[in-house]
Amino acid sequence: MGEAKYYLPIKGKQIPIIVRNYQNSCTLKMYFKGNTLNISKPARMKQKELLKIIEQNKETISEQYEKINQKENQTIKHWYTGEKMLYQGETYRILVEDFPKNSLKIEIQETQKTIKLSLPLIFSTISQEERKRQIDKNIKKLWQRKTKEWLIIRVPYWSKKTQIPYQSFQVRDATSKFGSCIPKKKTLQFSNRLIMLPKDKIDAIIVHELCHMIYPNHQKEFYHLVEKFIPNYREIDQWLKENSHEIMI
């Protein structure tokens, strides 16, 4: 599978785009994941033909990109009391309070469905941009730890259930992909945002990446294998595409 990422100028917008070439694919698919346009196409399809299809669909692409950006602007956190955030597929309320110590403290209060941010007094003297940057950084670290704690349990479980071995996995700060796989090295990579998703969606992502150890491309056999273990995979995949904007930080 070949992959290229670049920016596509459409109606004055620079739209991030990822093009993947699949040797065994017969059809072209276009969909947004986050604000990135993903295109999966047969490897034999020439660039000129692809650009013609994009030109024919530029109005729809532009409208979808605009809607997604509006949703992302609404879901990006500024870290004030009353904002909402997903954790393990449930909506949690952000609660912010002053903290008389020098360090930022973050608590996930599962009973109250609250994410409590205790901010040191120095935060009242810094810019809003710096305040957000520091909270973002600490939330991402927490999400990475929580995601890894869950994957340490579920990746071995699904590896045993599918009979597909792996060598190792990593958790990274990634927004354009929920997961990826390097079959030759038998390694898996996952986004630290996974902990924001419902548990069945996380399981589907794990199985998806494990099955890429057998089928690196998205051919018919690949989906048959995934659906052997996750029968409603296509429904989950559609949900992930439609709700990926909810895991913005």
Cβ-based burial of 189 (10 A; exposed 0-12, middle 13-18, buried ≥19): middle
Q: Is 196 left (phi over 0), alpha (psi -120 to 50) or beta?
A: alpha
For 24-40, how does the pLDDT look when each residue is reduced to its tens digit (9 = 90+)? 778 888 888 777 888 98
Please report the pLDDT score of residue 153 as a whole number.
98
Domain boundaries defined on the chain: 2-75, 84-140, 146-247
Please report the pLDDT score of residue 1 as a whole number.
53
Residues in the chain: 249
DSSP of 169-182: EEEE--SS-SEEEE
Rounded to whole angstroms, the Cα distance separating 183 from 163 reads 15
What homologous superfamily is domain 146-247 in, according to CATH?
Metalloproteases ("zincins"), catalytic domain (3.30.2010.10)
For 42-86, how does the pLDDT look when each residue is reduced to its tens digit (9 = 90+)? 888 998 999 999 989 999 998 888 887 776 655 678 899 999 999
Lowest mean pLDDT among 9-18, 161-170, 193-202: 9-18
For 163-187, how does the pLDDT look when each residue is reduced to its tens digit (9 = 90+)? 999 999 999 998 778 999 999 999 9
Whether this prediction's pTM lies above 0.75 is answered by no
